[in-house]
Every structure is written in C-alpha cells, then in structure tokens.
Structure 1
Amino acid sequence: MSKDILLVEDEKILRKNYETILKKNGYEVMSFENVQDATEFIEHNSIDLAILDIMLEDNLEGGFQICKFLKEKNKQVPIVFLTALDTDVKKISAYELGAWDYLTKDISLSLFITKINSIFQKMELLSDYKKIDENIVFNDDTFEVFYNGQRVPLTKTQFLIANVLFKNQGRTTDYSLLSQVTTQKVVTDNAIAVHVRKIRKAFKKNDNNFDSIQTASKVGYIWK
C-alpha cells in the first residue's frame, strides 16, 4: 500500500525534484507552496509523513506553523524539515516540535530518498520492538524511544537510564544500577538526578501529564 506524503516547498524547481523522486519510489505526493494551502489540505485529509520547508514565501517560520497545526490533528505523523537554514537554533526548534529528522537542501536526492525510506522502515519495525506498555516503545538497536507514537528526544545516556527504569517497571532501581548502565566512567547520584529530570521533561513535551518516573527517596527511582 502506497504512503501519502505532504510536501511543502515554495521553490518550484526544488519542489518538482523532490516530488519526482518520491513518486518514482512509489509514494503518493501532495505538494504545496504556502502555509494556507497546506493547512487547508491537512484539515480535511490524512497523511503518512510530512516534508516541510521552514521559510515559505514571506513567512519566515511557515514550516513550524504547519508542523504545530499537523501535530494538533495527529501527533503520530512523522515530520521531516527540509530547509536551507543550517543553524543549531532552527534544528533545536524543529526537534522540540517533534521532528523526526532535519535535512538541509544541499542533500543529494539519493540520500534524501534513503532518509525518507528509512523513516517508513522504522515505523514498520515498531511492531517488532520489545513492548512492555502499548504507549511506549524502546528500540535497543538505535537508542530511540517512542511515546504515544512520537519520538522522544533523548541522548544515549538518557535512553539507557530510561530503558532500565522502564524494564524494571514497578520496582525501585537504585542509583548504583543506573550509574552502571550509562556510558560514562564516573556518575554521581546528582548526575543521575539531572539526567532523570531531563528525561521527565522530554516525555512531558509529548504528554504534560506524564508522571511515571517517581523518586524513591535517597535510593533511586521507580517507573510506575
């Protein structure tokens, strides 16, 4: 079954190039050049993935606006930003909005389509990942975690800590064990606490009511 991709790019030649290679790889593509047309389409249609430029015509953050609108409709749709803006500020903003990837326009078409294919492969593999809770999926191979279908942006160390807490669900995991699973040589209890605080914050971006990680005073943490 073909996948439906939303492509929003205001440069006609680039839009045509991306659209052509996506269609050659079997995807259905709905392409637009501005925020209004894209959001109107999203309002009445479902898609499997969105590829968004950030600067659209005179709107300097049009892609971010579309992303927010789309997430209100369906948090599980993967979003890829494809832009000429190669700054950490924009990248951070994109990932904080839930982007799966951030690509710059100097990317070759072959690498571009490989990235898109890879996203769909990951989505198909989600059902094969070890699941303990239907809303949370940990992938031990790529150090990725998905919550309510959305990728949670964690560092490798944060992933390892969250993973062991999750797998020990209902039981207290002490600081000693948590320090052993990290990739760092020396890890203090305070350092673990900082990591856990960031893990909680990352999950709360997906669900503000997230409170599964509880503190076991002076001992460690428990995932309830």
Structure 2
Amino acid sequence: MAGKILLVDDDEDIIEMLRYNLEKEGYKIKSAPNGLEGLEQASEFGPDLILMDIMMPIMDGIEAGRQIKAHESLKNIHIIYLTARAEEFSEIAAFEAGADDYLTKPIKPRALVSRINAFFRKESRKNTDEAILSIGGLEINRNNYSVTKADGSEVVLPKKEFELLYHLAKKPNKVQSRSELLQKIWGADVYVVERTVDVHIRKVREKLGEDTIKTLKGLGYMFNNKD
C-alpha cells in the first residue's frame, strides 16, 4: 500500500516539485499552503508523513507541529520539516514540537526522495519488532505508543520520546551514548544536535519519573531497571 504524504508549504513551486517527484514513487499526495490548513488536511487525509515548512502565513510550521502532536488522533503522524531556517534554535524548536527530521532548503529532490523511501522502509521494519516490553514496573506498548505504570495509569508519549524509552528499555542497565541514540532513533543520515536527546530524555522523566532513565556523566543514558 502506497504511503500518504501531506505537503505543507506556502511556496507553490516547492509543492509542485515535491508532488511530481513523490507521486512518481507511488506516494499519495495532498497539500496545504499554511499550518492551519495543514491541520485540517491532516485530519481529513490521515497522512503517514507530513513534509512541512516553518515560515508560513496564518500559522507557522512549529505551531502546527505542536497542535498535531497534541491531538489524540494525529499524534503518531511523522513530521519532517523542510525549511530555509538553519539556526540551531529553530532546529531545537522543531524537534521539541515533535519533528522526526529537519532538513534545510534548497531541496535536492532525488536525495529527499531517497531519504523518504528509507524512512518508510525503516518504519516497516519497526512494525516487526517486539511490540510490548514489560520491565521496571512499566508496560511499554509499541502498538499504540503508550506506557502503563504499575498503578495502572497510562502515559502516551510523542513518537521520539517513546522510541528513546523503548530503545533504552530493550537494553536495560546498559549505557548508551548520545551519538548512539541519535543514530538509532533519528538515523545516521539525519543531522541533529546532541542536545536534542537531552530535551527528549528530560520530557520522558517529567512523565515517568526522574529515576526511569539514569544519566552517567560523560557517557550517556541507561534505562534504570529496578526489577
């Protein structure tokens, strides 16, 4: 089944270029000229992936990303930002809003298509992994990206926060460096600052407790298995 991709950008030339190249690969494409219409299209179209600009009228891409991730029926949609903003603070804001990747313009169409094809292959492989982990007083369910605590309360994490927790929990009490986590969660071909890992770890701790993931100074992080 072809993947569904939503393009959100106020530049019609970029939209048409992306549409042409992605439809050739068999993807189903819809588009929107700003973040507000992107939200509406996300609800109606149900895309697997959104390629989104940041600087747009009416609603920018960062705010649109935040609202998508805050919406129960949309939170598992993947978001890749395509933007002319190359500053580190914009990149960090994008990942804090729930981005899966952050790419700066100008876009190289063939390289982008290859990256998207690889992205969908990676997601397909993830679906074959062990779906549920029971460890450290938590049940970590990859089917719905939820975590159930020992008291029965459920926590739903955004995609990257969940993947970090899941990856660390698969190797409990084993230290993993920031660079290793970046490669495993974001991919070797994605440039992301190491601080991004720290931001996501902090958010996981806020929801599951400070002692869920331990920091080993100068080395990295590990899941604290208390069983």
The residue number in structure 2 matching 1:222 is 225
The residue number in structure 1 matching 2:60 is 62
The residue number in structure 2 matching 1:135 is 141
Q: TM-score, normalised by structure 1?
A: 0.66
Structure 1 residue 38 displacement after superposition: 1.9
Say if 2:82 and 2:104, in contact at 8 Å, map to a contact too. yes
> Relative to structure 1, is the Cα distance of residues 26 and 223 closer, same or farther in structure 2, using a 3 angstrom cutoff?
farther
Say if 1:9 and 1:52, in contact at 8 Å, map to a contact too. yes
Question: Secondary structure at 2:160's aligned position in 1?
Answer: strand
Measure the CA separation in 1 of the matches of 2:7 and 2:224.
Answer: 43
The residue number in structure 1 matching 2:160 is 151
Deviations along 1:64-86, one digit per CA (max 9) or x if unpaired, are 12212221232211100001111
The residue number in structure 1 matching 2:171 is 167
Give aligned pairs, total. Answer: 181
Q: TM-score, normalised by structure 2?
A: 0.66
Measure the CA separation in 1 of the matches of 2:52 and 2:203.
Answer: 23
Structure 1 residue 212 displacement after superposition: 8.6
Aligned residue identity for 1:96: E
Say if 1:67 and 1:97, in contact at 8 Å, map to a contact too. yes
CA RMSD of aligned residues (A): 3.6
Structure 1 residue 167 displacement after superposition: 3.3
Q: Which has the larger Rg?
A: 1
Say if 1:55 and 1:83, in contact at 8 Å, map to a contact too. yes
Structure 1 residue 87 displacement after superposition: 0.9
Aligned residue identity for 2:15: R
Structure 1 residue 223 displacement after superposition: 4.8
Deviations along 1:140-170, one digit per CA (max 9) or x if unpaired, are xxxxxxx85712399xxxx79x73x6534xx
The residue number in structure 1 matching 2:8 is 8
Say if 2:42 and 2:74, in contact at 8 Å, map to a contact too. no
The residue number in structure 2 matching 1:30 is 30
Q: What residue ranges of structure 2 are gaps of 5+ in the alignment?
A: 134-139, 144-155, 180-197, 215-222
Structure 1 residue 123 displacement after superposition: 0.8
Structure 1 residue 35 displacement after superposition: 2.6
Q: How does 1:198-213 map to 2 (within 5 A)?
A: 200-204=201-205, 209-211=207-209, 213=211
Say if 2:53 and 2:61, in contact at 8 Å, map to a contact too. yes
Aligned residue identity for 1:151: K
Question: Secondary structure at 2:208's aligned position in 1?
Answer: coil
Identity of aligned residues (%): 24
